[in-house]
Chains A and B, each alone.
Chain A
Amino acid sequence: MPNNKHRPVYLNLFAIHLPITGLVSVLHRVTGVLAMLLVPAALALLQRSLEGESGYAQARALIGSPAGRLAAVVTIWLMAQHFFSGLRHLLLDLDVGVTLAWARRSAAAVFLASAAVTLLAAWRLL
C-alpha cells in the first residue's frame, strides 16, 4: 500500500454524532477558555468599581446598559454551564454516577440546570 499514508482524511462534522456526555465535556472546556478570556474585563470592571463614587457609578452604568445586561446574561450562562458540569466532574471523580445511564442523566441535568439559571437571569435582567 504505497499510497496509504497520503489517503485523504475527511471528517464530516455533521455526520459525527456527539453523545450528550461528550457535549457536556466539550462545553466544559469551551466555557472554561471563554471564562479565562473574560478575566481581564472582569478585573478592569472590579478595579473601576473600587475607584471612588464616580468609578462605582460608571461600573454600574456599564453593567446596567442594554449591552451590559446582555453580556451579563451570556456570562451567567457560561459560568452556570461550567459550574454544573464541573460539579458533575467532581462527582464522577468520587465514583458517583459513573454508569452510562446515570452519566447521561447527569449530563442532561447539567443542561437543564444551566438553562434554568440563564432563563431566570434573562427574565430579571433583560
Chain B
Amino acid sequence: MSARDLGSARAGLNGWLAQRISALYLGGFSLFATLRLLLDPIADYPGWRGWLGGGAMRVALAIFLLAVIVHGWLGLRSVWMDYLHSDGCRFLASVVTGLVLLTLALWSVQIVLWDLRP
C-alpha cells in the first residue's frame, strides 16, 4: 500500500479540528442552556415553545443538534478504529453508524423546521 492510498494528511487535521470546534460549541451551548433553565425555570408550554422557537435560539439549537451529529461521528469513528481490528468490522460499523447518524440528522432537521415553525 502506498502512502497515497491512506488518504490525505489534511483530512485527518480537518477531523481533529472539527472535533474540537464542535466540542467548544456543545460545551458552551450546554452551559448556557443549563444556567438559563436553572436561573429562570420554564413553567409552562408557551414559555418552553417560545424560548426554543425564538429566532436566535432556534438557530443556536439547530447548530447544537448538528454539532452533536458531527462530534458523535468523529468520536465513534475513533472508538471503532481503536477497538475493531478487521477492515470488514470497521467498514460495517462505519456504514451502520453513518446511516443511524443520518437518520438522527434528518430527525433533528424535522424538529427545527417543523416542530419549531413560527
Tell whether, in the assembled complex, residue A79 and residue B30 are in contact, meaning their CB atoms are under 8 Å apart.
Answer: yes
Interface size class of B (residues with CB under 8 A): 20 to 34
Q: How far is the CA of A83 from the CA of B52 in the complex (A)?
A: 23
Q: A79 → chain B, closest Cβ, in Å?
A: 7
Q: Contacts A50-B49, A53-B45 known; A43 to B27 CB distance under 8 Å?
A: no
A100 within 8 A of B: no
Tell whether, in the assembled complex, residue A43 and residue B108 are in contact, meaning their CB atoms are under 8 Å apart.
Answer: yes
Q: How far is the CA of A87 from the CA of B20 in the complex (A)?
A: 10
Tell whether, in the assembled complex, residue A50 and residue B111 are in contact, meaning their CB atoms are under 8 Å apart.
Answer: yes
Interface size on A, residues (CB 8 A): 23
| Bitwise interface map of B from 61 to 88 toward A, beta carbon under 8 Å scored 1, else 0 | 0000000100010011011000000000
The 10 A-B pairs at the shortest CB distance, nearest first, are namely A56-B45, A50-B115, A36-B72, A32-B75, A53-B45, A47-B111, A43-B107, A86-B23, A29-B79, A47-B115
- Spell out B's residues near A (CB within 8 Å): 20, 23-24, 27, 30, 44-45, 48-49, 52, 68, 72, 75-76, 78-79, 104, 107-108, 110-111, 115-116
